Amino acid sequence: MSVRRILAALLATAVLSASASAQRTTREEPRLVDLVDVVVVNLEVWVTDRQGIPVAGLKREDFELRVDGKPVEVSNFLDMAARRRATAELGGPAVGSGSDAPAVDPQATDEPPLVPPSHVVIYLDDESIRPFARRPLLEDLTAFVRDQASRGNRLMLVTHGARVQVRHRFQDDPRALPHLLTTLEEPGGSVRQLEAERDFILRTMERTVVPSPNQTGIRFEFDLEDARTLLPRIRGYAQMLREQTRARLASMSSFVSSLAGIQGAKVLVYVGEGIHAYPADGLFRAWEERYPALARQEGMSTGLEANRYGLKEEIRELVSRANASLVSIFTLDAGDRANFTAIGAERGTSTSGPTPLVVGRLDQQISMQEISSKTGGEVLGVGERFGAVQRLGEQLEAYYSLGFDAAPFADGRERRVEVAVRRPGVRLRYRPAFTVQSLGERMKELTLAGLLYQRRNNRLGVELIKESEWVREGGGYLVRLAMRMPVVNVTLLPRGEVHEGRLSLYLAVQGASGRTSPVIEQPFPIRIPNDAVLTALGQQVAFTFDLALGAGEWQAAITVRDELAGAVAVETATVTVGEAARAPASRQ
């Protein structure tokens, strides 16, 4: 059974049933208590002088924070650079890289000055990194990840070629990452094929004599026909590049969204030549300039063509997803405009003046500047090599974190942020907007973080186990997963003849191929007769999920929220389905 059919079956036939220890109800339950939903957003702010040197020693009272133009109190404050210095002086380690490391309260005065870890994703746009840049770039990144691992930061490596692949997860041993970087092979694929089409168009354009209304003869007719046929060919190339870039942006946006449930500072380091905001803009411009009379005759305008194939909305969506997930995007530009002279000579194309190659590079650089600046990041690179990687490491060391209560803004709308510092002559960089999802959406984000990155926080003693499986008519298996937790960990309040509690459950599964199901959300009200409460406190409450799955190994994650106490737990499990589950112990 294919993964696509597995997931479709899961959505179409998933049956959720309560065990005998707890009954469901279809009528809407009144609230027993009112809870205050506390949501803290931490905004990373980089403060430098006019020379770009970090400004040290700022205090909480030096900052002013506004959301949608209204002043907001800074409730939590952290000077990352000062915290690192204090930790180094005391000889204390940074917070470890384990997935269950404790959170750090920056306001506590009696704790050692441990450094809260950052989550750093190295996102290699693999096909856009050219051979002349690949080896030195990977060598620099190897030094960078060693440095970051030594500081206790959690690292992930993602390559984006034909598809997005997570090569190294946050929970993996960081000592394996440097070697992994050195073994990455150069991919081929669709990017190179598109470049071959672009180069053919350029060579054809360069060898074609510019048609003039005064020209006649066979040569003129051939050149005119070549010029005419080039325009639809450029449009075809623009459409292919647009679809490819659009798919890459969608994958990148989806990946950024998956980081929403990760707590702490999150940085995505994009490594590549950039994103085309206006695919083939340079080719359209070159064609219009080379054949102006024909362009007027065809009613062709570079501006109109650029807008037709532009991807500004998709880029804005990526920025919005990053800000909703509180991910800052930094860019290591793997390209260099000067290198296109060599590329053009190698491929038989001219690169003098504002050629399509240079225009395309500028388009990529401008779009990445927009993505970085609007998420609180920065563009680094363009020939700097190790200097850029070193500066990136410095950036992660010297920021101020401003925490504030964002519960009043938890409605899924994008909010505008403004930060000011009472210090003359400084420059600020921070994300200019953020989005806080509703409570239910945040629980789904935590579930996906648990599933994809093994983020566990099981304060309620939740268990997730496979109870049974049986062959499903039409193929695959029906698998029963059970959530169990001690009744003593459930908040129960008296209501007439019973004690009532209310849980909300969120479940997701992922197959071996990496395909992930949507998060299943299920309310779970609990009623225990008053005369049975003391006995029930020594037992467990259970809820079962019946899922249609294929044979193989599945990862599962469940989030349980106690709606009366506001407590949340995330638990994960590996579920083996099919023949592997029934194999003798000697074959396991």
Question: Sheet of 400-405: strands edge to edge?
Answer: 76-79, 400-405, 40-48, 427-429
User: For 562, which DSSP code?
Assistant: E
Distance CA 14, CA 580 (A): 22
Residue 70: closest CA among 573, 408, 533: 408
Residues 32 and 175 in one domain: no
- Residue 102 covered by a domain: no
Residue 344 lies in a domain: yes
The answer to whether residue 101 is domain-embedded is no
Distance CA 137, CA 470 (A): 51
Q: What pLDDT does residue 379 have?
A: 85
Are the C-beta atoms of residues 463 and 486 closer than 8 Å to each other?
no
**The two three-digit tokens of residue 442, written as one number:** 């945040």
Residue 260: CATH number of its domain: 3.40.50
Residue 385 sits in the same domain as residue 276: yes
Q: What is the pLDDT of residue 380?
A: 79
> What does R_g of the chain's alpha carbons equal in angstroms?
28
Q: Check: CB of residue 120 under 8 Å from CB of residue 157.
A: no
Are residues 145 and 178 in contact, defined by beta-carbon separation less than 8 angstroms? yes
Residue 21 and residue 54 in one domain: no
Structural domains in the chain (count): 3
Provide the pLDDT for residue 182. 83
Give me the domain span that covers residue 536.
Answer: 3-36+439-587
Question: What CATH number is given to the structural domain containing 461?
Answer: 2.60.40.3880
The answer to whether residues 419 and 565 belong to one domain is no
pLDDT of residue 391: 74
The reply to whether 104 falls in a domain is: no
Residues of the chain with confidence (pLDDT) below 50:
1-34, 95-113, 218, 337-354, 383, 385, 583-588
Partner residues linked to 78 by β-bridges: 401
Query: How many angstroms separate the CA atoms of 358 and 349, rounded?
Result: 12
Distance of CA 453 to the CA centre of its chain: 12
Mean pLDDT rounded to a whole number for the chain: 80
Give the pLDDT of residue 357: 80
**Same domain flag for 518 and 529:** yes
Does 161 lie in the same domain as 88? no
Residue given tokens 């639809």 in the structure block: 232
Judge if 533 and 405 occupy the same domain.
no
DSSP H/E element including 42: strand 40-48
Q: Are 124 and 153 in contact (CB under 8 A)?
A: no
* Contact between 330 and 269 (Cβ < 8 Å): yes
- d(CA 111, CA 108) in angstroms, rounded, equals 6
Q: Which pairs with CB-CB distance under 8 Å and at least 24 residues apart come from 415-419?
A: 415/67, 415/68, 416/67, 416/68, 416/69, 417/43, 417/65, 417/66, 417/67, 418/65, 418/66, 418/67, 418/69, 419/43, 419/45, 419/63, 419/64, 419/65, 419/66
Distance CA 438, CA 458 (A): 22
Q: What is the pLDDT of residue 189?
A: 58
Q: Which two tokens stand for residue 344?
A: 């053009």
Residue 99 counted as domain residue: no
Cα-flanking dihedrals φ and ψ of residue 492, to 5°?
-120, 135
- Cβ-contact 282, 309 below 8 angstroms: no
Residue 554 lies in a domain: yes
Q: Are residues 206 and 175 in the same domain?
A: yes
Alpha carbons 231 and 308: distance in angstroms, whole number:
14
Cα–Cα distance list, 372 to 141, 365, 377, 380, 498 (Å) = 19, 10, 4, 10, 55
User: Does residue 412 belong to any structural domain of this protein?
Assistant: yes
Do 373 and 228 lie in a common domain?
yes
Same-domain check for residues 421 and 402:
yes
Residues 455 and 546 in one domain: yes
Tell me if 107 is assigned to some domain.
no
Structure tokens given for 468: 């049974």
Q: Domain end: 395, 426, 460, which one? A: 395
